[in-house]
Structure 1
Amino acid sequence: MTITGIIAEYNPFHRGHAYHLSRAREITGADFVIVAMSGNYVQRGVPAMFDKYTRAEAALRGGADLVLELPLCAACGSAEYFSDGAVDLFMQTGIVTDLCFGSECGDLEPLAEAAALLADEPEEYRSLLRQHLRTGISFPLARATSLQEALPSVSSDMLSSPNNLLGIEYLKALKRRKSSIRPHTIAREGGGYHELTMEKGYYASAGAIRRELIHSKGTFTEMIQAQLPSPGIYHSYEGKTPLTEDAFSLLLLQRLRSIQGTSLNSFFDVPEELSNRIWNRLDEFTSFSDFAELLKSRNLTRTAVNRALLHILLDIRQYRRADHLRVLGLQKEAKVLLNLLSTHGRLPLLTGLSGSGLPEHTFYPDRLYESVRSLVHGIPYQNEHRRKMLIV
């Protein structure tokens, strides 16, 4: 049996994602497709614009057979942690045989070559990396430059494309874990990851859809709906202020004021340089997004700052891989997957939180998200413990 894994955020699930799901099933000959999806917070270090159950339903109606939730610290971690957490989750299922991801180049060979070098880190590469870091450039740029010099066959274009870089991290994680999961890649169609414009007749990026939704003040315009395979799924969001990190601004400021003067190094992925910048500029805080922009530097990207601030807000102290398999939803025709996960999975299988035995503090991030969403959208609070696994 072939069971293909896909790693995603689906914020929101759009036609490009539906294409990827369909092609992944086709090229891998999958009997089932399982998606490892971020929960209520995403890799850019911000809350998801759409809650995880809405996004899971969109994925299931768009072709996925089952949706697993990524552990929080992987979902809002750097590309390396995001990839490691997702690959580990698939390995712990005991049933995922293949992994299919999108990339700009659509060619597995050069991505695998780069991943192998980063996984092994030979002395030649480490020496180049040290040399470039001494010049004062950022780590991502130093790594890309060193990688290209160590592997002349790898183009600079490939290393500057976000989905290629994420694909390299997936492959690196597979290699380091000595995983038997077979990788595949599909060339990304339509708008690039960072492209924020929308045009008729091609797949827009999720970022472009979110930008348009903010511009329309929550109105799902004809152009937005044309990009969504099942726009009706988002009916509860129609006309509501889109949820962004700035809805969490006062919460972040209160959190920082409550621990002011202490070291922030105990929080996951918060370097000393950023800790100092936070305390030196806290009096200039006006909003989550403006503060992140204020804190970024040559060595700290805006996204890295976002993630660090989110880790502080949510009290994430260290990286942890999954300790359970949380099913958000599945196709009713794919219920056999629950039996397979129960039989072959290496972690406890959860289809709901009631009676899960999970520590109370693990529920705080979702409680916070739903509290903010209910206030911003003027809707009743959704209690996670009362939410049942979706079946479509």
Structure 2
Amino acid sequence: MKTVGIIVEYNPLHNGHVLHYTQSKAITGADSVIAVMSGPFLQRGEPALVGKRARTEMALRMGADLVIELPTAYAVQPAEWFAHGAVALLAATGVVDSLCFGSESGSLDTLLPLADSLAEESEKLREEIALRMSSGISFPNAYAAAAAAVSGSKASADTIAEQLAKPNNSLGLHYLIALKRLGSEIVPYTIPRKGAQYHDQVPAVSSIASATSVRRLILEQGLEAASPYIPGYVYEILRREFDAGQGPNDWESFRLPLFHALLTRSPGELDQLHEVSEGLEYRIQKVLPLLGEPKVGQLIDALKTKRYTRTKLQRMLLHILLNHAKGEMTREQLAQGPGYLRVLGFTSKGQALLKQMKKTASLPVIMKPSVLDHPQLRLDLQASAVYGNACPRPSVSFIYGDYLLPPVTL
């Protein structure tokens, strides 16, 4: 049985994701699909609209056979470590033959040779990144320019920098780098993004809209406004979750616990938390009294500069919210990869994959957290509880769902 891996967030699953799933199976000739999915908090430092069980159900109803959780330690990191964690999980299953991701380029012609040259991060690359950041530009832009400068690729530096300025190309490059660093035999494929682009704020005319615009429609106009852009089963799941008071969540849902953390910590205490760096602990203290209202959106706007992107700031605030100490997520620790394969859901075909993984998996496969004591898993459980507590109508069963509920089955 040929199996393709996909790396997803489904916040929420929309028609573009269905197209990616369908084309991934077609281009790879796969019989089954394993999805590595972020938990309650996402790579851009945002809370998911609904919880991970609901999004797992979306994935299974679409056709995915097995959904594995990307640990929080990787799910809320910059592209390098997000990609490393997700690819390491796919490799650890021992059953994944291929990886298919969407990209703006729709081609590996530039990305593959670039990944070959960047897989071993050189001192020269680090110097070039630092040089560019010293001029005040953001890390993503500095990385793109530095990678172009040191790559040795036949493509021009301008072409490389232009390609890496596009978010899905950049993330795809890090998937390829992760495959190289892990020495994995998983074969990469990419397909072009169709219709809406990643950051589009409003839907295009077609039935495909970005997740950003779908969320905006839901939060500002209600679920009905987003219905043309999501499958019917996703509409049903979202309506059920919203009616149960388990969404929709956005950053303002976490306003009270976040501001409590910011108001009760000194700059020195904030400096001990992951991604609080370069004096941001003092900038936070400076802007808090100047806000018109104690809202997360206003805080991010006040903190944002050319150097500090919205995504960087959101991730930093998320680490503050979840009390992630710097020592919990060092480069050395993250390079070791995830410590387990946490199953969120499966179908009958996924059950067959799990049976096969008993022989092939290089990490423990866990259905419930009580069977393993691992620092990354403790962070996952904490994140799920914090997320559940911020829902419109929090319940103990949702807050402690990791302990009380089995994987989603279909």
Out of 214, 220, 223, which is 1:220 matched to?
A: 223
Q: Does 1:389 find its partner at 2:407? A: yes
Q: Are 1:365 and 2:365 an aligned pair?
A: no
CA distance in 2, matches of 1:205, 1:188: 10
Q: For residues 381 and 334 of structure 1, what CA distance do their matches in structure 2 show? A: 26
2:363 to 329, 342, 347: 347
In structure 1, how many angstroms separate the alpha carbons of the residues matched to 2:93 and 2:374?
Answer: 19
Contact 1:191 1:202 in 2 (8 A): no
C-alpha RMSD over aligned residues:
2.3
- 2: CA distance between counterparts of 1:357 and 1:306? 29
Distance in 2 between residues matched to 1:131 and 1:47, nearest whole Å: 33
Note closer, same or farther for the CA distance 1:380–1:236 as it changes in structure 2 (3 Å cut): farther
Inter-CA distance 391–291: structure 2 relative to 1 (3 Å threshold): same
Residue 42 of structure 1: CA displacement? 0.6
Q: CA 1:134 to 1:379, structure 2 compared with 1: closer, same or farther past 3 Å?
A: closer
Between 1:162-171 and 1:297-306, the stretch displaced more is: 297-306
How far does residue 292 in structure 1 lie from its aligned partner after superposition?
A: 1.9
Q: Match for residue 236 of structure 1?
A: 240
Report the CA distance between 1:80 and its aligned residue.
1.1
1:212 match: secondary structure: helix
* TM-score, normalising length: structure 1: 0.91
SS in 2 for 1:100: strand
Distance, in Å, in 1 between the alignment partners of 2:315 and 2:163 is: 25
What is the aligned counterpart of 2:202 among 197, 201, 209?
197
CA 1:167–1:361: 2 relative to 1, 3 Å: closer
Deviates more, 1:136-145 or 1:200-209: 136-145
2:271 pairs, out of 258, 265, 271, with 265
Superposed displacement of residue 279, structure 1: 2.8
Whether the 8 Å contact between 2:208 and 2:229 is mirrored in structure 1 is no
1:23-60 CA-to-partner distances (Å, cap 9, x unmatched) read: 11111111221000000111111211111011111111
Between 1:57-66 and 1:139-148, the stretch displaced more is: 139-148
Matching residue of 2:306: 298
Contact 1:354–1:386 at 8 Å: present in 2 too?
no
After TM superposition, the structure 1 = structure 2 runs for residues 137-216 of structure 1, keeping only pairs within 5 Å, are: 137-150=137-150, 151=153, 152-153=155-156, 154-216=159-221
Q: Per-residue deviation at 1:354?
A: 4.4
Letter in 2 for 1:315: N
Q: 1:30-41 maps to which residues of 2 (within 5 A)?
A: 30-41=30-41
User: The residue matched to 1:291 in structure 2 has which SS?
Assistant: helix
Q: Given the alignment of the two structures, is residue 70 of structure 1 paired with residue 73 of structure 2, yes or no?
A: no
1:120 match: secondary structure = coil
The answer to whether structure 1 residue 334 and structure 2 residue 341 are counterparts is no
* TM superposition shift of 1:127: 5.7
Q: C-alpha distance in 2, partners of 1:85/1:166?
A: 13
TM-score, with structure 2 as normaliser: 0.87
Uncovered stretches (5+) of structure 2, i.e. residues with no partner: none
C-alpha deviation, 1:256, in angstroms: 2.2
